Amino acid sequence: MPREKQDTLFVGSLDKGLRVLSLFNEHHTVLGLTEIAELAGLDKSAAQRLTNTLHKTGYLNKDPESRRYSPSIKFLELGNAYQWADPLVQLAMPKAIELGRSLGERVNVARLAGQEIVYVIRIPTQLTAFGAMVAGRRLSALTTSSGRAMIARLSEEERKVAVATWPIKPLTPKTTTDRAKIGEAIEEAVAYGYGLTHSENIMNEIGIAAPIMSGDGRPVATVQCSVSSLKWSVERVRGELAPHLIEVANSIHLPRGA
């Protein structure tokens, strides 16, 4: 039975409009009407009405020559509203900036979003690639240091379910796809108090993350640092960076439900 009929408060047309907005990302920055219809699972007439409405209300730009659509600056305004509303961003931002300055390395803050992580704060260095500067990027929790750090703070049963069922999206030839090995890495994170990856998301990059707990004792976010393995060894990362990340993560006290 369609969701609209199951829930009288559910607005199907709004759901379809949001589905169209959600199509735009780092892989789809500009889309034509046919592409939007196919990707959103809509007929072309519905896609045309939705894109026209989103264009008229200022959420989509439309190229007058190609007639293709792209996100407008209103997308950024929505992101700004999120950052003002999330207490984690307000509490963690100054600490992440100071940590980045003291370490001279890239520092991020990530939130757990279902079975993935989303970077909500990015503190880059001069050598940081553009893709690693932009907040909002979503990655598989199982293959990231942030995801493993947070999964490590779940119950043993929850960890087993995560390792067995959460999605794995390889990004490099060295992304670990063997679930048994991922389980071992997470149990190591349980023992050490932080998650660590090497070349699993970007080649020659070591990622290390310490969990931030909510007021009710659940892992909801991390303070994370990414460094070049051409400059840092795993042993040096463990010895020099881990204590700072754990200290900062433990200093962020979130209210219940945050």
Q: Which CATH code fits 3-75?
A: 1.10.10.10
User: Taking all residues of the chain, what is their mean pLDDT, rounded to a whole number?
Assistant: 94
Distance CA 184, CA 202 (A): 21
Q: What pLDDT does residue 5 have?
A: 53
Residue type at position 155: S
Distance CA 194, CA 233 (A): 16
CA-based nearest residue to 192, from 208, 175, 214:
208
The pTM for the full model equals 0.87
Distance CA 108, CA 138 (A): 13
CA-based nearest residue to 244, from 91, 102, 145, 92:
102
- Which CB contacts under 8 angstroms, 24+ apart, belong to 82-86? 82/120, 83/120, 86/120, 86/258
Q: What pLDDT does residue 55 have?
A: 97
Q: What pLDDT does residue 134 have?
A: 81
Distance CA 170, CA 16 (A): 29
Q: What pLDDT does residue 7 have?
A: 79
Q: Which two tokens stand for residue 232?
A: 């840092």
Q: What pLDDT does residue 2 have?
A: 52
- Find out if CATH 3.40.50.1000 is the number for domain 86-251: no
- Collect the ranges in the chain with pLDDT lower than 50: 1, 4
Distance CA 83, CA 75 (A): 13
Helix (H) / strand (E) containing 121: strand 116-123
Q: What pLDDT does residue 4 have?
A: 45
Helix (H) / strand (E) containing 70: strand 69-71
Q: Where are the domains of the chain?
A: 3-75, 86-251
